[in-house]
Structure formats: C-alpha cells, structure tokens
Amino acid sequence: MSLTRPPGSGKLRVMKLERVLPIVTALAILAGSCAPQSPEADPEEQLLGSLDPNHALEEIRRFSTAVQTPSGLGAGTAAAGTEQEEVLAAHVEEKFRSHGLDVSRHTYPVRVYSYGPAEVSVAGERLPAVILYGSPGTYGTRDGRTYRRGNWRGNKVLRARLAYGGRGTRADIAAAGNVRGKILLLLRDDTAAGWPSLAALEAATQGAVAVIFFGVEGEGTLLEDALRQDSLLGSNRIPAFSIRRSDGERLRGELARRPMEAELSCEAKEHNGRSVNVLGELRGSRFPDERIIVSAHIDRWFEGCQDNASGVGGMLELVRAIVGRGTPQRTFLFVGVGSEEAGGVQTLDEWLTGSYALVKDKPELFQNAVFVLNLDGLGWRGERGSLNVSPEGEPFAKSIVAALGLEARIKIVPRISTWVDAWSYSSVAGATTMFNGWESDYDQYYHTDYDVCKDELLANLETDLRLSLLALGRIDRSDSPPIDLASLASWIRRSYREDAARVPGVSFAAFHAALSEFEVATTQNAHRLETARSAGDEALTKNNLRLMEVRNGLIPALVATGEDVAETRTYRYSIDAERLAEILSALPSADADEQVSRDAITKVIEIMEAGDDFQDAGPAPSWTFQFSRAMLQRYKRKSDENRTWSREHGQMMESISLEVFGLHQRLRRVLDSKKTVWSFDAAGAARKTSDLRARTVERLKASLVGVTEALQAATLRLRARD
C-alpha cells in the first residue's frame, strides 16, 4: 500500500473566473438534460472514504516519538506508572478533547520500575545494553529503602568474572562449572525456558550474581543488532541485562579462548504507584446506553511503533472519521490503556494490568458493551493475517472480511489470546471482542529498538483501518449486537466434545443436556428480533440487553486461562488427565526385563516432555524439567503468593508440575544409571500418578458442574418474559 500523495493531487491549474463560468453552466445544463439521476451514495463507501491513511501514519509517528527520554529500559520506553507513560496518556487525552470527546481518567495501582542508564562493559569494551523490566539494579531503592549490589565504585558497579551458561538450563549451567559469584552470559531460548525469567532464576539459584542475555530463540530470528526488552515476570532476584546478539556471539567465542571480566551498572527505583486509562466518550442518540468500545494500549518498550503506537494512531484516525460523520446511534467509548506490557506486582501475569483493572473497577462499561475492538499491532506488512474474535462474533467477522474481499488473506479465528487486552474484555468481562494481526516477520522487531516507524513496515495500515471502520460502522447502524448465540453454542459443543474424548470415564451427559436446551432457546430467541423491530426501539433495547446479559454471564463461565488463549474451562484438566493416563499405561512393571523397562521409562519421559501438557501455576513441564527443583519451588511459591488475573477462572489453583517433575527426575536417574532398573519403585510411582489423576478428574468434574449451571441460567434468561 502506498501512503504517498496520489498522482494528480497537487495544485490545480487556475483559470480566470470569466472563462470558467460559461463552461460550468453549459456542462450543468447538459448533465441535467441528458444524464440519468445518480443513485444515492453508499453510506459505507462514504464512511470508508473518510479515512486518511496518511493522517493515521502522521499520528503514529507523532505518538511513537512523543517520548525520547533515555532509560535503562531503552530510549523511548514508557513503562507502567512512569513519567513517560503519563506523557503519552496526556497526548491521547489532548487528542480526544480536540475531537470533542467527553474525556475522563481511570487510575489504578501498579508496581513502578524506573531506571537510569544501563551500562555493560566486558574486558573494558562498552556494549549497547538494556536492563530487563522488573530486574533489580546494581544499586537503587525499593520502597524507599536503599540497596547496593555492586562491589566496585561505591558498590554501584558489579564487577565479576564472566562465564558462558548456554541457555540457562540446569545442565548448561552445570557445564559451566562453579558459577557462584560470576556473571552468566546466556543465549535466550524461549523453547527451553519459556521466558528469560526461568533462566535468570536458575542462575540465581546456582549462585550467579547477574545475567546478560543475548539473542532470542523460539520466536523467529531476532535481528543481529537488535536490543530486546521484556519483563522478568516475577523472577527478580539478580540483575538481568540484554545485549545485541552479534555482541553475545562474539563474547561467547572469546570466552572459549580467554577469561574475561564484566562490569554492570544501573540504578533502579522500585515502588508502588498509579497508572492511568484515558477514556473518551461520544454519546449516541438511538441506543445511548449501548457502547461500542475501541481500545489501544499506550505503554511500550522503546519507540514501539508497531507495539503499540500503530494501535493508538489508528484509534485516533478512527475517532476523527467517526466524529466527522455526526452523532452515532450508539455511544462510542475510546480507551487509551496503560500498563499493558507490565504493571502488576511481580507475578507470572503482570501484563494486561490496565485493561484488567478497567474491567474490574468499572464493570458497568462492559455490561452493555455491544462490541469491543482491540487495536494492537496495526498494519504490519504480511500477506496473511488472522482476525481473532470471541466465538459469538464469528459470523459478523466473516461478513466484514467478505465485504472487503479479504477472504483469501485473512482467516477467522474464534478465540481470544491472553497476550492482548482483548482477553480482559472477552474472557473476563464477557463482551464480544475482535482484534486483527498479520503473519509475517514481526518477531524480528518485537520489543526491540528496531520497532520504529517505516512506511514499508506498515503496508497493511489502510487495510486494517478499513476493516476496523467498516465493523464499527455496521455495528452502530444495526438494530442488534453482533451476538450469534447459535455460533457460540456450536463452538461450545465442538470444544467440549474434544475435552470429553480425553476423559472417557467422566460423564458429560448433564452438560450436553444443558447445552441442547440452550441451543433450542437460542433458536426460539432468534424470532424475538423481528418482533422487536416491528415494535420499535424500546423493544429492541430490551432484546439487545437480554442478549448481552446472556453473553456476559456465559463467556467467562465457559473459558479459562490457557497458555496462549482463552480455552474451554475443562481443557487443562482433560489434558492433564489424558497425559497422566498415558503415563500410567507406560510405567514399567516390576517383572519386565531390563531392556523393556528402559524402553518404557523412555516412553514415560517422552510423554512428560511432549509440550504444554500439564496444568501448572507456572511454566509447562516441557520447560521445567530443564531446571532445578529448588528453582521451581521458589518460582511456584512466588507466583502463588502474588497471582493476580489468572485467579479469575480458578484454573491455576493447584500445580502438579512439581509432582510430575519428581517422577521425571527419578525416571531420568534410572535411565542414565549403569545399574539395573529394579531399584525403581514402579508400583509406588503408579500409585502416586493414579492419585494425581484422580484429583485432576475431580477438579474437572467440579468445573463441569459450574459450566452446566451457567448454560442452564443462560437458557432461563433467554426464555424469560420481558
């Protein structure tokens, strides 16, 4: 897509007025007498024609560069509760006011981390670096109390021998020898550790005094000279820095030839504070109590052009287009969300802080939310994309994609990711929510200093703006919300059928009976819309409120927090039960010969390490098996103490990873030993595994009861008289 001025749009040639008027008059007479009357312009084409991608790009650039303050987190970063985030919030507030929106603020508590310059030197060479968010500094204050972790220059600089610790797993660090008192150079590998948190915590557990990460494996190839920023997610025991991959690879090679020392320095100030969501409202005329919400988060790492200046700039362009068409039928609420990247007290779920606080503090905003559009990462180049939408909105999403002729490029995904604010709006508040993303090379730029504004990187900006504005316009003009309860019922039946297949010994009969009744009620309720249309807006309002009430109560009851998406509530339990059953069937028997038993042990270990297979308050066992039990215990204890929004669905109430971890370790010792396998207590392991499965199945049954009751309540509400 070109964002330059089209040919021929420059200055017009000026003709003298006396020459123009006769020509115009003649043409007007000819047109009036000979040409048929042109049909009235299509309102949707008029609406889309009001978009100006160049203006949106200007807004994106302006917002991306509105903060340039140096910081150990990276130049341009605006983290939760900081002065830089407030600058961006004020920018959005001023823009909202300039468009005539009714502006208000919502503040909420966050954990604030402010950093001075991050300095990393190795063997006297200064390297570009950032300190990871949430990391302690080499010196600083925590809640007003001063600390110094350094050992040089007034204990502000940490100076120690540098050692290469591989990917930061237990085995890799062990291969580095005694790392106590050393600074570890680590290749960040999210396929091994899930996030830098685990590797940093393992390094601390083994006695390292700090870590320096370079590169990223598992999310695509990071640009060689990029600096990556991320949160430590609750593992802030030692300072953690990040350098360029090119520098890290070079240091790794040099460490193999000679010893080197590293010097680290960064001041950190950690305390409780406040962050802000900026709200701008445009009151509707026909259905003023029904809201259409547009959301984009304002905090960021570095300049964050894509994540998320693009979303904010796109939202401001949508504001301009919608305000320009006059008073809408429904009330529009635009939200500049703070603290999306981080902000919660050091936990595994410290992100989405602003949107979650908004949903919990102001539930009335979402009770009558007809639709929520989440703008996060707008317009990135890519040939293929996905439009994620909560299941009840799937038919509407398909109609929008079809209307723009994008079926070949954009697939519809009826689920919401836990990595964007849409999760708060859909899975917690129950609103119909949609966001779009593109499959391309963005992982190379994600959370790095290379996420800057370049026209060629925003090739789909106009496409995303048109898709967004068409959706908003259609919903505003419609008589009813885009809530298709039949599609929701179909998604429920399909998803829960998969869960039931994993636990054949558990009865889903009551659930299926409740679902069938709900499906009948949705069919009966569909006729109410036509009746309401003929009765007028008051009847339509009542019908719309009923639909939203059913949806708002049902969605949060049906889903639970998965690793990447909001999944069916029984999903994690059914996966656990299935894998534990496989382990039971594969455990070696006491009367088997050695070779068969070793094969069986290998199979059990493979089952455990297959992937994200077990419910857990922390990372999946496929990652945790690579770390020490001491580290896992610290990680679980901290996450259990400080857990925030993942408590929402009661999904993470008991971790089984440590128990599975213990069995894995015993099996691994047997497999790696030169002794016979007869010392392994297969019967005892089977008993513990069986008990663990029984407890998992009981939690699944309890969850299933809640889901069944939610369906029954939804059916009663659909059948109730006005």
| Alpha-carbon gap, residue 15 to 664, rounded angstroms | 86
Contact 263, 152 (CB under 8 A): yes
Query: Which residues partner with 485 through β-bridges?
Result: none
* First and final C-alpha spacing in the chain: 50
Question: In terms of domains, do 662 and 552 share one?
Answer: yes
User: Do residues 349 and 645 make contact, with C-beta atoms less than 8 angstroms apart?
Assistant: yes
- 508 in the same domain as 462: no
Residue percentage of the chain with pLDDT more than 70: 87
- Residues 234 and 338 occupy one common structural domain: no
What is d(CA 644, CA 423) in angstroms, rounded to the nearest whole number?
14
Question: Which amino acid, residue 637?
Answer: R
Kindly indicate the confidence band of residue 379, based on its pLDDT and cuts at 50, 70 and 90: very high
Mean pLDDT to the nearest integer, 115-136? 97
Write out pLDDT tens, residues 509-537: 999 999 999 999 999 888 888 899 999 99
pLDDT of residue 263: 98
Distance CA(394)–CA(409), nearest Å, equals 16
Are 472 and 322 spatial neighbours (Cβ–Cβ below 8 Å)? Answer: yes
Dihedral angle of Cα 75, 81, 83, 85, to the nearest 10 degrees: 60
CA distance 141 to 126: 25
Contact present, 293 and 372 (Cβ < 8 Å):
yes
Output 125 or 653, whichever has higher pLDDT.
Answer: 125
What's the whole-model pTM score?
0.91
Domain assignment of residue 20, yes or no: no
Residues 6+ apart with CB under 8 A from 290: 284, 330, 331, 368, 369, 370, 481, 541, 544, 548
* CATH code (residue 188): 3.50.30.30
Residues 277 and 260 in one domain: no
- The full DSSP string for 535-574 is H-HHHHHHHHHHHHHHHHHHHHHHEEE-SSBEEETTHHHH
Mean pLDDT score across all residues of the chain: 88
Domain that holds residue 686: 483-722
Residues 438 and 3: their CA atoms lie apart, in Å, by 19
Does 441 map to a domain?
Answer: yes
Identify the CA nearest to 485 among candidates 599, 362, 396: 396
Residues paired with 270 in a beta bridge: 113, 142
Q: Are residues 248 and 299 in the same domain?
A: no
The band of 222, judged by pLDDT with boundaries at 50, 70 and 90, is confident
Q: Is the pLDDT of residue 193 over 60?
A: yes
The reply to whether 139 and 71 lie within a common domain is no
Give the residue-averaged pLDDT of 142-155: 96
What is residue 640's predicted lDDT score, i.e. its pLDDT?
A: 66
**Which of the listed residues 243, 265, 287 is the one where a domain comes to its end?**
265
310-324, 571-585, 696-710: lowest mean pLDDT where?
Answer: 571-585
> Is a pLDDT exceeding 50 seen at residue 573?
yes
End of a domain among 265, 300, 325? 265
One-letter amino acid identity for 711?
L
Does residue 10 belong to any structural domain of this protein? no
> In which element (H, E) is residue 605 found?
helix 594-608
- Whether residue 487 sits in one domain with residue 473: no
Looking at residue 33, its pLDDT comes to 38
Residues 309, 213: one domain?
Answer: no
User: What is the SS3 string spanning 242-291?
Assistant: EECHHHHHHHHHHHCCCCCEEEEECEEEEEEEEEEEEEEEECCCCEEEEE
Regarding whether 491 and 437 lie in a shared domain, the answer is: no
Question: Counting every residue, how long is the chain?
Answer: 722
409: Cβ–Cβ under 8 A, 6 or more apart, which residues?
A: 383, 384, 385
Inter-residue contact 157 to 264 (CB < 8 Å): yes
Strand 183-189 to 210-217 pairing: parallel
Among residues 477, 505, 540, the one where a domain terminates is 477
Same domain for 396 and 491: no
Mean pLDDT throughout 23-52? 61
Query: Which of these ranges, 25-34, 78-87, 247-256, 317-326, has the smallest mean pLDDT?
Result: 25-34
Residues 415 and 559: their CA atoms lie apart, in Å, by: 10
pLDDT at 19 over 50: no
For residues 99 and 123, membership in a common domain is answered with no
Would strands 240-243 and 261-265 be described as parallel, antiparallel, or unpaired?
unpaired
Q: Per the domain annotation, does 38 fall within a domain?
A: no
Closest CA to 239 of 217, 211, 274, 262: 211
pLDDT exceeds 70 at position 543? yes
234 near 208, Cβ under 8 Å? no
CA distance 510 to 209: 56
d(CA 63, CA 308): 9
The total of structural domains in the chain comes to 3
pLDDT at residue 12, as a whole number:
27
**CATH for 87:** 3.40.630.10
The residues near 698 (Cβ < 8 Å, ≥ 6 apart) are: none
Establish if 531 belongs to a structural domain.
yes
Residue 517 included in any domain: yes
Task: Tell me whether residue 644 is in a domain.
Answer: yes
Query: Does the pLDDT at position 243 exceed 70?
Result: yes
pLDDT in tens, 617-650: 556 677 788 889 888 888 777 766 666 666 665 5
7 domain residue, yes or no: no
Residues 277 and 197 in one domain: no
